[in-house]
Amino acid sequence: MAVGATRLKRVIGAVTAVATVAFAAACGSSDSGDAASGGNVTLEFAQWWGAELPAGDLDKIVSDFTAQNPNIKIKLLSAPYASTKQQLITGAASKTLPDVVGLDGAWVNDFAKQGAITDMSKLMTDSNYDASQLASQIQVNGKTYMIPVVNFVYPLFVNKDLLAKAGVAKTPTTRSEFLDAAKKISALGGDVKGWALPLDTAVPNGIQNDVMSWLWASGGSMLQDGKPALQTPAVKSTVEYVKSLNDAGVIAPGSLTMKEQDKVEKFTNGQVGMMIDSLAHINLIKKNAPSLKFEVAALPAEDGYTGKRGIPYASWGIGISNSTKHKAEAFKFVSYLMSKDTNAKLSTIANGFPGNKTAQPDFGDSDPLFKTAFDIYQQGYPANEFVGLPKSEDLMRSFDEQLQLVLTGKSSVDDALAKAQQSWSSVIG
């Protein structure tokens, strides 16, 4: 009996040790899934799009591709935006990015410099791809690293009821008209304010969408020859304008820690008369407040400005890992997503605008506001100067902090812009 027990102990000990070594070995030799077997290639495609599209829609688009290319399998790795971002940052650092990756323009420069994503210009040349059909390409040092697949523009949302109640007959098209309308809406009393400005520093994209958009709408730029140019009259005028809105008391309180979702919620609840927001939120607003009457319009420009208006946008971009062994197959998949029909289909279900210039989204079943926004988009030009910049989130945050100092009266506009310029120059100077 004792001998049996001892033997059993030894067997358990040996099995445990072997299992542990096997476990450790398995940890160290995990394959990214970039495997080819029997002539078939499996590509991993990490993105957040699947989480934002109606369930199964992205799978259907992918299965159409695999039906046309039976030797290429696509494994979708769908997660929410924030999770995808962190996974990709980690993957880029360890050079284990999935074969094809969904990209935000804000990440491109850093990933390209790390050598984590590949130069797609070469792939386009190698496969004789007609790049003229692309609405835009995100480049670093003249090489394309990201192609925007679907663009989501940020027009001005206006609560028509509040505007009418405030006695404003016309949707504002200039800064003066906007200030006037915002004052009249705020004068309605209660918790209602004219505008919402989310300046939360955890996700400081309010600087891009809600502040710099005023600059771009008047044809201005925050860069000059790729270098920061924050002390120009155009940027100063933008910040002074935002300050004037704050001084007039037309901005919803709590803006220093307000998040984008708070802004949308306040607009949906009728607490804010106007906001600059993603077109993608139209369905959400209509679902949560079916009786809310609102419209979308081009962003107001400086008084007297007659040029084309830049309209901020965010993209579902796509890139290819530099470490994948199947770049040609990966680019084939990218080409498929960018093809006229597929791109139009994807844009339609995403309520966005296509990255292929020849693709026409189908507005048949969509809200009429999408058609209006598409017209605004075509009359102006997509503007987002943060796309492709290094450490763009950090740039937004440092500008955000300076703007907060201005709005709380702790800094003058000139000092704030000088400090922001200094901070930005250390990153992209």
Partner 1 sequence: MSSLTASPVAPPVEQAAPPKKKTMARRLIPYGYLSPTVILIVVLMVIPIVMVISYSFRDNVIVQDNSVFAGFANYTKVLTDPDFLTAIQNTAVFITVSTVAHLVLGLAFAMMLNTPLLGGVAKAVFRIVYILPWLFTVAVIAVIWRLLLDPSGVVNYVLHTLGVVQQGVNWLGDPGKALWVVTFINIWSGYPFFMISLLAGLQGIPGDLYEAAAVDGTNWFQRFRHVTLPQLRPVIISMAVLDLIWTSQQFALIWMTTGGGPLHATEMLSTYTYKQAFSEYEFSTAAAAAVIVLLLTMVLAFFYVRQQRER
Is 243 one of the binding residues for partner 1 (CB under 8 A)? no
Structure tokens of 55? 């369930």
Maximal CA-CA distance, the chain:
99
Q: Which two tokens stand for residue 42?
A: 């499996």
What is the smallest separation between the CB atom of 204 and partner 1, expressed in angstroms?
A: 8
42 near partner 1 (CB under 8 A)? no
Q: What is the gyration radius of the CA atoms in the chain, in angstroms? A: 25
Q: Is 256 exposed, middle or buried (0-12, 13-18, 19+ CB in 10 A)?
A: middle
For partner 1, which residue of 59, 64, 161, 262 counts as binding (CB under 8 A)?
262
CB 33 within 8 A of CB 42: yes
**HSE-CB of 204 using CA atoms within 13 angstroms:** 20
Using CB under 8 A, which of 42, 139, 221, 404 touches partner 1? 404
Q: Is 188 exposed, middle or buried (0-12, 13-18, 19+ CB in 10 A)?
A: middle
CA distance 223 to 229: 5
> CB-wise, 95 or 357, nearer to partner 1?
95
Taking CB under 8 A as the criterion, the residue among 35, 93, 164, 187 binding partner 1 is 93
Q: In angstroms, give the least distance from the CB of 201 to partner 1.
A: 4
171-210: contacts with partner 1 (CB under 8 A): 191, 199-203
The residue within the footprint of partner 1, chosen from 144, 159, 209, 255 (CB under 8 A), is 255
Residue with Cβ nearer partner 1 (121 or 201) = 201
Q: Per rule CB under 8 A, is residue 86 in the interface with partner 1? A: yes
Q: Edge to edge, what strands does the sheet with 272-276 contain?
A: 193-195, 272-276, 156-159, 294-297
Q: Is 16 in the site for partner 1 (CB under 8 A)?
A: yes
With binding defined as CB under 8 A, does residue 83 bind partner 1? Answer: no
Looking at beta carbons only, is 9 or 227 nearer to partner 1? 9
* Structure tokens that stand for 286 in this block: 């209509």
Residues that bind partner 1 (CB under 8 A): 9-10, 12-14, 16-17, 19-20, 23-24, 27, 86, 89, 92-93, 110, 113-115, 191, 199-203, 252-258, 262, 266, 271, 391, 393-394, 397, 401, 404-405, 408, 410
